């Protein structure tokens, strides 16, 4: 019976994965850490009160998605010639929240998932209380992908540090600059295994590989004088 149950789980996983519904944003292009853009011109400070990072994670095939938020702790954007040319922001990993609406199973609790995501299986927030993103380049975007954030007009590349490891990611973004203010909005998907976050990725254990490696990240960062 146990063998049959495992086989059934494998079959369900393969069927669900074939649906390809486990993300709504394309994978960010990932590369090794690159040189951070030099800060020049006017520097605007990130408004932590109005900036947020939304996250969404999945089981294979889009089953039982979980989502929530992370708070932006600090940062700045550099403006030169009316354009964002450099900048960074710091994410408070201990602020990680799971939206209760994403946990519908009676035997599951959002607080338990929050605790698990903060422990060494995932982000180990005691050891790594913050993550950060440092811009390496901002260039004009032509032909934004259909699933890019609405109004995407730039391609942003930057070094993303998660759990103490840094990788460069590139994604389409909506970047706006007005008098005394600037903002960056984007949504993209990363493979957490690229940052060494491998819990639940074992191909040898069906109960583990049902957890997707994809994390969808939606950034909304605002800066002002």
Task: Dump pLDDT digits (tens) for 66-114.
Answer: 999 999 999 999 999 999 999 999 999 999 999 999 999 888 999 999 9
Q: Range with the lowest mean pLDDT among 9-13, 24-28, 145-149, 210-214? A: 9-13
Q: 209 falls in which pLDDT band (50, 70, 90)?
A: low
Please say whether the beta carbons of 85 and 37 come within 8 A.
Answer: yes
Q: What are the distances in angstroms from CA 68 to CA 4, 109, 124, 165?
A: 35, 14, 17, 22
Rounded distance between C-alpha atoms, residue 77 and residue 112, angstroms: 36
Pairing of strands 52-59, 66-80: antiparallel
Instruction: Give mean pLDDT, residues 161-170.
Output: 97
206 pLDDT higher than 90: no
- If DSSP codes are grouped into helix, strand and coil, which group holds residue 192? helix
Q: Share the mean pLDDT of the chain.
A: 87
Please say whether the beta carbons of 152 and 141 come within 8 A.
Answer: yes
Please say whether the beta carbons of 128 and 93 come within 8 A.
Answer: yes
Determine what percent of the chain is predicted with pLDDT higher than 90.
74
Output the pLDDT for position 194.
96
Name the maximum alpha-carbon separation found in the chain: 68
Burial label, 63 (beta-carbon count in 10 A; 0-12, 13-18, 19+): middle
Q: 58 falls in which pLDDT band (50, 70, 90)?
A: confident
Q: What is the pLDDT of residues 8-33, one digit of tens each?
A: 333 333 333 333 344 578 899 999 99
Output the pLDDT for position 203.
61
Q: Find where tokens 């490696």 sit.
A: 213
User: CB atoms < 10 A from the CB of 16, how many?
Assistant: 20
Instruction: Give mean pLDDT, residues 122-135.
Output: 97
Token pair for 35: 């040189």
Phi, psi of 43 (to 5 degrees): -110, 125
Instruction: Give mean pLDDT, residues 105-125.
Output: 93
């Amino acid at each position: 019976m146990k063998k049959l149950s495992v086989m059934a789980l494998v079959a369900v996983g393969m069927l669900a994965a074939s649906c390809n519904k486990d993300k709504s944003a394309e994978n960010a292009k990932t590369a090794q850490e690159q040189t951070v853009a030099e800060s020049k011109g006017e520097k605007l400070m990130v408004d932590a009160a109005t900036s947020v990072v939304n996250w969404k994670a999945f089981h294979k095939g889009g089953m039982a998605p979980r989502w929530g938020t992370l708070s932006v702790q600090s940062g700045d954007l550099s403006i030169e010639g009316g354009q964002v040319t450099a900048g960074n922001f710091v994410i408070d990993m201990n602020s990680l929240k799971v939206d209760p609406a994403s946990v519908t199973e009676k035997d599951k609790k959002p607080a338990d998932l929050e605790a698990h995501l903060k422990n060494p299986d995932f982000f180990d927030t005691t050891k790594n209380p913050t993550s950060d993103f440092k811009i390496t380049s901002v260039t004009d975007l032509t032909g934004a992908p259909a699933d890019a954030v609405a109004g995407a007009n730039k391609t942003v590349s930057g070094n993303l540090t998660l759990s103490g490891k840094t990788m460069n990611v590139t994604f389409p973004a909506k970047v706006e600059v007005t008098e005394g203010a600037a903002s960056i909005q984007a949504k993209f998907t990363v493979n957490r295994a690229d940052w060494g976050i491998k819990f639940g990725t074992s191909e040898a254990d069906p109960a583990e590989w049902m957890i997707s490696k994809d994390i969808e990240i939606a950034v909304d960062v605002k800066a002002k004088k």
